[in-house]
Structure 1
Amino acid sequence: MGDQGDQGVWGRSAWPMWTPARPVSRAARIRGVAVLSLVLLWLLWESLGPGRVWPEAPAARVALGAVTLLYAAGWLGAMVGGVRLPPRRRIPLVGTLFALAVVAALLRDGPLRLGHTGVFGFALVVAVWLLPARWSVLLGLVTLALQVSLGPVDWGHVGGLVPGIVIPVAVTLLIRLVVQLGQAHEEIAALAAAAERDRLARDLHDVRGHSLTTITVKSGLARRVLESGGDPERALAELRDVERLSRQAHGEVRLTVSGRRRPSLAAELAGARAALRAAGIGAVLPPSADHVRAELAGPFAYVLREGVTNVIRHSGATRCEVLLGDDWLEVRDDGPGRNAAEPGNGLSGLAERLRAVGGRIEAGPLPAGGFRLRASRT
Structure 2
Amino acid sequence: MGDQDDQGVWGRSAWPVWTPARPASRAAHIRGVVVLSLLLVWPLREALGPDRVWPETLVVRVALGAVTLLYAAGWLGAMVAGVRLPPRRRILLIGTLFALAVVAALLRDGPSYLGHAGVFGFALAVAAWLLPARWSVLLGVTTWALQVLTLGVAPGPVVWEHVGGLVPGIVIPVAVTLLIRLVVQLGQAREEIAALAAAAERDRLARDLHDVLGHSLTTITVKSGLARRVLESGGDPELALAELRDVERLSRQAHGEVRLTVSGRRRPSLAAELAGARAALRAAGIGAVLPPSADHVRADLAGPFAYVLREGVTNVIRHSGANRCEVLLGDDWLEVRDDGPGQHVEGPGNGLSGLAERLRAVGGRIEAGPLPGGGFRLRASRA
Partners of 1:248 and 1:23 lie apart in 2 by 43
Structure 1 51/177 Cα, relative in aligned 2: closer, same or farther at 3 Å? same
Structure 1 6/187 Cα, relative in aligned 2: closer, same or farther at 3 Å? closer
Structure 1 103/87 Cα, relative in aligned 2: closer, same or farther at 3 Å? same
Gaps of 5+ in 1: none
Partner of 2:81 in structure 1?
Answer: 81
Q: Residue 293 in 1 paired to residue 298 in 2?
A: yes
- State the Cα deviation string for residues 8-27 of structure 1 (Å, max 9, x = none): 11111111123267335554
Partners of 2:6 and 2:306 lie apart in 1 by 43
Gaps of 5+ in 2: 153-157
- State the Cα deviation string for residues 129-173 of structure 1 (Å, max 9, x = none): 111111111111111111111114443012211111101111111
Do 1:43 and 1:119's aligned partners in 2 also have CA atoms closer than 8 Å?
no
Partners of 2:294 and 2:366 lie apart in 1 by 19
Q: Residue 192 of structure 1 is aligned with which of 181, 189, 197?
A: 197
Structure 1 22/136 Cα, relative in aligned 2: closer, same or farther at 3 Å? same
Q: Any residues of structure 2 matched to 1:188-267 within 5 Å, and which?
A: 188-267=193-272
Partner of 2:147 in structure 1?
Answer: 147
User: SS of 2:185's equivalent?
Assistant: helix
Q: Residue 171 of structure 1 is aligned with which of 167, 176, 188?
A: 176
Partners of 2:273 and 2:294 lie apart in 1 by 10
Do 2:4 and 2:17's aligned partners in 1 also have CA atoms closer than 8 Å?
no
> Structure 2: which amino acid aligns with 1:309?
T
Q: How far 1:317 moved relative to its partner?
A: 1.1
Q: How far 1:236 moved relative to its partner?
A: 1.3
- State the Cα deviation string for residues 166-211 of structure 1 (Å, max 9, x = none): 0111111111111111111111111111111110111000000000
User: SS of 2:28's equivalent?
Assistant: helix
Q: In percent, how many aligned pairs have the same letter?
A: 87
Q: How far 1:112 moved relative to its partner?
A: 2.8
Count of aligned pairs between the two proteins: 375
Normalised to the residue count of structure 1, the TM-score between the two structures is 0.95
Partners of 1:124 and 1:42 lie apart in 2 by 18
Do 2:5 and 2:14's aligned partners in 1 also have CA atoms closer than 8 Å?
no
Q: How far 1:341 moved relative to its partner?
A: 4.0
> Structure 2: which amino acid aligns with 1:251?
G
- State the Cα deviation string for residues 233-280 of structure 1 (Å, max 9, x = none): 211111111111111101000000000000000000010011011111
Q: Any residues of structure 2 matched to 1:217-366 within 5 Å, and which?
A: 217-366=222-371
Do 1:218 and 1:241's aligned partners in 2 also have CA atoms closer than 8 Å?
yes
Partners of 2:70 and 2:288 lie apart in 1 by 83
User: SS of 1:322's equivalent?
Assistant: strand
User: SS of 2:10's equivalent?
Assistant: coil
> Structure 1: which amino acid aligns with 2:320?
S
Do 1:10 and 1:132's aligned partners in 2 also have CA atoms closer than 8 Å?
yes
Q: Residue 95 in 1 paired to residue 100 in 2?
A: no
Partners of 1:103 and 1:125 lie apart in 2 by 18
After the TM superposition, which segments of 4 or more aligned residues of structure 1 sit over 6 Å from their partners? none
- State the Cα deviation string for residues 57-112 of structure 1 (Å, max 9, x = none): 22211111111111111111111111222223211111111111111111112113
Partners of 1:226 and 1:318 lie apart in 2 by 24
Please, which moves more after superposition, 36-45 or 347-356? Answer: 36-45
Q: How far 1:6 moved relative to its partner?
A: 4.4
Normalised to the residue count of structure 2, the TM-score between the two structures is 0.94
Q: Residue 28 in 1 paired to residue 33 in 2?
A: no
Alignment RMSD (CA, Å): 1.8
> Structure 2: which amino acid aligns with 1:133?
A
Partner of 1:104 in structure 2?
Answer: 104
Partner of 1:123 in structure 2?
Answer: 123
Do 1:46 and 1:118's aligned partners in 2 also have CA atoms closer than 8 Å?
no
Partners of 1:352 and 1:21 lie apart in 2 by 33
Partners of 2:362 and 2:150 lie apart in 1 by 65
Structure 1 88/314 Cα, relative in aligned 2: closer, same or farther at 3 Å? farther
Partners of 2:223 and 2:91 lie apart in 1 by 71
Partner of 1:65 in structure 2?
Answer: 65
